Amino acid sequence: MAQTAGDDPMSTPSSTGKVPVGGAEIHYEIHGDGPPLVLLHGGVNPSDTFGAPLAAMAKTHQVIAIHMRGHGFSTDSDEPWSAELMADDVAAVLRRLGIGKARVMGYSLGAAVALHVAMRHPELVEKLVSVSVAFRTEGEYPEVRQAFEQMPGMAAAIGSQIAASPLAQLYPDVDWETMMRKSGEMNLVERDWSEGIKAIEAPTLLVFADADSIRPEHMVEFWKLLGGGQRDAGLDGSQRPASQLAIIPNTTHYSLIQSPLLTEVATAFLSQ
């Protein structure tokens, strides 16, 4: 369930700031102490990711929570959105903070951005956690594609509904109609990131819900691109790939980010 202003979902950061990038100002918050972990939220509502999941990860990491352009406390420019553009925003924040290498974890939209940070700026990524994203357009179910296709035309109606909701109290400066239009347009672009994913060097954990918006056969194909599913790992496990796959039971694409098991699995992977 999405958290709202009345739920007090977010912990108090130790520091915050904004980094100017390409006409936008990218907001970041720093929580906790330990190895740096960039945490990237899903679409529309950063508090889904920056509530309980952030608090859990900040117990073992210095979490750099970045608001994507046009989301949360970041501003926007007129440029169309893309995972590539937002990945460059993330890289700019890390470089401004002087962080040479970090662990990166993203959910949904944030997972797409995290993958592109690893593909476009591999020198910045130590480990990667990708939560519930398809690397190719047809990896999503038809009803998901249909929703994205309808989103630009419904942006005004959806935006006005959100503007009257508690979420708007959390993020009062967001242009909700523009967000919905740009989100739809961003997801209408056909994508196939196969070649880039095969070249990712950072050990990667893929996480999906067992009732995800993504086809199960696509999850397996994704896993194979990272070297998984090629052979038995052997009695001693010495033949297993560096990357890992987790499917969280009794979750959907929309509830997965709030599952305590997700943060448990991610923390275990990042600590190895």
In angstroms, what CA-CA distances link 198 with 102, 123, 176?
20, 16, 35
Q: How much is the pLDDT for 6?
A: 34
Q: Can you give the residue ranges of every domain in the chain?
A: 5-138+194-271
SS3 assignment, position 248: strand
Say what the pLDDT of residue 13 is.
Answer: 84
Residue ranges in the chain modelled with pLDDT below 50: 1-9
Its CATH class, for the domain covering 5-138+194-271, is alpha beta
Quick one: pLDDT at residue 5?
34
How far apart, in whole angstroms, are the C-alpha atoms of residue 226 and residue 206? 9
Tell me the whole-structure pTM to 2 decimals. Answer: 0.95
Which pLDDT belongs to residue 10? 60
In contact, 1 and 50? CB cutoff 8 Å:
no
Using CA atoms, how far residue 169 sits from 17, 21, 24, 107, 180, in Å, is 20, 26, 22, 23, 17
Beta carbons within 8 Å of 238's beta carbon, 6+ residues apart? none
pLDDT of residue 56: 95
The reported pLDDT for the residue numbered 4 is 34
Question: What tens digit of pLDDT does each residue of 61-98 get?
Answer: 999 999 999 999 999 999 999 999 999 999 999 999 99
Q: How far apart are CA 125 and CA 104, in angstroms?
A: 7
102 strand-pairing partners: 125
CB 179 within 8 A of CB 71: yes
Cα(247)–Cα(131) distance, integer angstroms: 10
List 104's β-bridge partners, or say none: 38, 128
Residue 264 DSSP class:
H
Closest residue by Cα to residue 22 from 73, 70, 72: 70
